[in-house]
Amino acid sequence: MMMKARILLGMLFTLVLFCLTISTTASPSIPAVFAFGDSTVDPGNNNGLTTIFRGNHAPYGRDFPGSIPSGRFSNGKLSTDYLVSILGIKDYLPAYLDASVSDAGLATGVSFGSGGSGLDEATATVNGVLSMESQLNNFDEAIRRIEMSFGKNRSEELVKNALFVISVGTNDVVFNLYGFTPFAFQRSASAYHDLLIQRLASFIQSLYDRGARKFGVAGLPPVGCLPLQMSIGSFMPSSHMLQRLCVDQQNIDSQAYNFKLQNLLSTLQNSLPHSKMVYFGIYDTMMDMITNPFKYGFQETLEGCCGTGLFEIGPLCVVGMPTCLDASKYIFWDSMHPTQAAYLAISNQYQQLLDQYLN
């Protein structure tokens, strides 16, 4: 009897060791991803907000699994969805405000992003969405939930090893620098960029103070090549009437901002001990798509898939509007947001940079 018990205990011990080994080898080096910013990382946080900036209606999400308009501002997945899948964490990065997210799901990451948000508080206020400060408050709430479920030590370790993705700034320049509202910024592009960089530095510092160490920060895209900006630009006095061309000055401004952003990240990495700052160069990737579309399988670069592709976005991209048959041939889904296919190309660049800088 004693011999059988010893054999059983030995087998049990071996099985436990085996399971622990499997668990260790399968565990990703980045255990969670937490995203902050605008519609480029919003998987549905705006769904319950009183704002026109929502993507929880058809035809949004038509190529998402189950053809569900989850609230993502695209026809399918976002780059952060692909990112967590590539990292081996889970299939999608859910919205923090999605009531179905469990504490266990929370511990592998969520997005706090809100479509229409920006680094400038005025951007979020005017658009009726979650400001960066509100997103930070939601993160604090999420960490309290994780601590209650898994303990303070595990929570701190999770935050230290997690990747913090920040993708924001486009709405600020579109609405407050190039916009036609009374809130349009009155200073130069350079001065406004300095303000945004200052706000971003403060936000990263706040996350660092909470224990975050790994950051992936996206630069501005070629704003002047967004279909909406090209449409508006075609009516400008200095343009060739009704010609669809990228707005060169806006692209120059985007590059100038990105240069300042890269300098900021370099400075922060040198000044914040044990931090890792990775710059996601969205500009170069998207410009390569626009100038070399066939390299990525794209055929249409100047218009979105939804409606005319010139102005439709959010509440203007709805059921009844004509849409392209194959969104994978388009860089843009609506007049501002990339398609699932474009986000996949962007996420591939994310992975290459993370391999280079974090490992």
59: preceding bond cis by omega (within 30 degrees): yes
- Please state the φ and ψ torsions of residue 164, each to the nearest 5 degrees: -105, 110
Active site residue 206: no
Q: Which residue shows structure tokens 């668990």?
A: 23
Catalytic residue among 39, 79, 231, 335: 39
Active site residue 334: yes
CA within 13 Å, CB half, 234: 14
Catalytic residue among 254, 328, 337, 347: 337
Dihedral over Cα of 297, 257, 216, 270: its sign: positive
CA distance 127 to 327: 27
Active site residue 81: no
9-20: b or e for each residue (b if 16 or more CB lie within 10 Å)? eeeeeeeeeeee
Dihedral over Cα of 300, 302, 308, 313: its sign: positive
CA distance 135 to 293: 35
CA distance 61 to 298: 19
DSSP 3-state of 177: coil
Catalytic residue among 79, 334, 335, 347: 334
Q: Which residue shows structure tokens 């920060």?
A: 217
Which tokens belong to 177?
């620098």
The CA–CA distances, whole Å, from 270 to 204, 266, 274, 276, 281 equal 14, 6, 9, 9, 20
The CA–CA distances, whole Å, from 190 to 173, 281, 298 equal 11, 19, 33
Catalytic center residues:
39, 334, 337
